[in-house]
Amino acid sequence: MTKPLIGISTYSRSPEDRFFLPGKYVDTILRAGGEPVLLVPAGNDFDRLFSILDGYILPGGGDVDPALHGGGDHPKVYGVSRERDRFEMEIARRVLDSGLPTLCICRGFQLLNVALGGTLHLHLPDVFGRQVIHRLPDKMETPHSVEVEPSSALAGIYQKTSFVCSSSHHQGIKDLAEGLKAVAFAPDGVIEAVEVKGHPWLHAVQWHPEHTSAEDPVQQRIFGALIAAASPED
C-alpha cells in the first residue's frame, strides 16, 4: 500500500534563522504508517500542495494573533507570527473546502475555530481560575483528564470516553464557531475537542496526543485513524 503523504506545518522562522518542528509529530506519523512532509509557512503554491497531499496536521505553537478574532491584548500572549497565521489560515480554509483528512492540535485547534469565525480566551486562568492546570510554568506540559461525548466520532476513534491527556496551553475557545461541535471537555468546562459538521474527517483537539503517544496506545489511535482516512486507494 502506498503511504499517504501527511503535510505538517513547521513553526515560523526563528531568530537563529531556522524553521522548527518538534520531532514527536513526525514520529507519530511514521509509527502510524504515513509519510510526513514538513511545510514551512512561507510558500504560496497551495493548489500544488493540495494536489499532492493526502492529509494534514495543523500542529501546536505560539498564539494566534488576537487581531484575527477581536481578542484585544494580554501580557501572556506569546509567539505571534502573522506569517504563520496567514499560511495556516489558508490551509484551514482549504481543508474545510476540500475534505482533506486533517488533525488540528493545540494551536491548530484554536486556529480552526478562528478561521470559522470563533473567538478565543486570551488567558484561561483569568476566566476559569486554576481548578484545572492546563500548562505549567515555562510552557511545560501537564496531565489532566478529558471527558468525550459518547456519541461523537472522536469517542469511536479513541474507543474511550474518559482518559488522561498531556496539556500545554493557556488559551482556549471562547465563542465556538458556527459549523463546529464541541465533543470533549476538561473538568473545568474548557472545550478540549471539536468536530466539523459535514466534513468527512477533521478532528481538532486542544491537548497534545503526540506528547505521550509512544508510550500510550490510546493517544496513538488518532494518528492511526488519520492515516487510515488519508490512505489512497491503490
Residues assigned a catalytic role: 106, 208, 210
List, in order, residues 6 or more apart from 89 with CB less than 8 Å away: 68, 111, 114, 115
- Answer whether 35's CB lies under 8 Å from 3's CB: yes
Contact call for residues 106 and 204 (beta carbons, < 8 A): no
CA distance 119 to 126: 16
Q: Where are the beta strands (DSSP E) in the chain?
A: 5-9, 35-39, 55-58, 102-105, 120-121, 142-148, 162-167, 172-173, 180-185, 191-196, 202-205
Q: Is 97 exposed, middle or buried, given 0-12, 13-18 or 19+ CB atoms closer than 10 A?
A: exposed
Burial (Cβ within 10 Å: 0-12, 13-18, ≥19) of residue 16: exposed
